[in-house]
Structure 1
Amino acid sequence: MNVTIRKIGNSEGVIIPKEVLDRLGLRAGDELSLQEIDNGMQLVVQQADLAEQIRAARAGMEKYRVALRELAK
């Protein structure tokens, strides 16, 4: 399947056809991970649980950044 890189605002992107999104169970707002491979790239659906855990960890690190900095000494 061929797609074209298009100008989207100040960025550039690829439009994923609706039938592909439906087949993979994806919708607007879902996160994908872009991975470079030997001869190109691939998009991998990011695990919702892992993404939520990473968000929670970042929030905790921000909240307790002073304490974590002190503990790191």
Structure 2
Amino acid sequence: MADAPKDQKAESKTLQVRRIGNSIGFILPKETAARLDLKEGDRLFVVDQPGGGFVLTPHDPDFEKAMEVARRGMKRYHNALAELAK
């Protein structure tokens, strides 16, 4: 298995799960929140990965799937949409 390029090395951080009201949660370090461009009230989406892991992302994966379907439809019906746009 090839090593990751030097500028893309995986960095490990530990987050502690804490009680927040009647729920549990964790606090992201300031640097991580800045890197994801997160502000208070923003949403993070949990995306399951093969092998049992997951990824936290600020991008809604369901929206991405819907946009892909829309792009295919627009490509398929390009002529009809162009006529309707006149």
Sort the TM-score into its range (normalised by shorter chain): 0.5 to 0.7
Percent identity between matched residues is 38
Residues of 1 paired with 2:57 and 2:34: CA distance? 15
2:28 pairs with 1:16:
yes
Q: Kindly report the root-mean-square deviation, in angstroms, between the aligned alpha carbons of the 2 structures.
A: 1.6
Give 5+ residue unaligned stretches, structure 1: 51-73
Moved over 3 A (4+): none
Paired letter, 1:24: L
SS of match in other structure, 2:34: helix
Residues of 2 paired with 1:20 and 1:3: CA distance? 11
Residues of 2 paired with 1:36 and 1:3: CA distance? 19
Paired letter, 2:28: I
2:39 to 27, 51, 66: 27
Higher percent of residues as strand: 1
Structure having the higher Rg? 2
Residues of 1 paired with 2:24 and 2:35: CA distance? 24
Give 5+ residue unaligned stretches, structure 2: 1-12, 64-86
2:50 pairs with 1:46:
no
Residues of 2 paired with 1:5 and 1:41: CA distance? 16
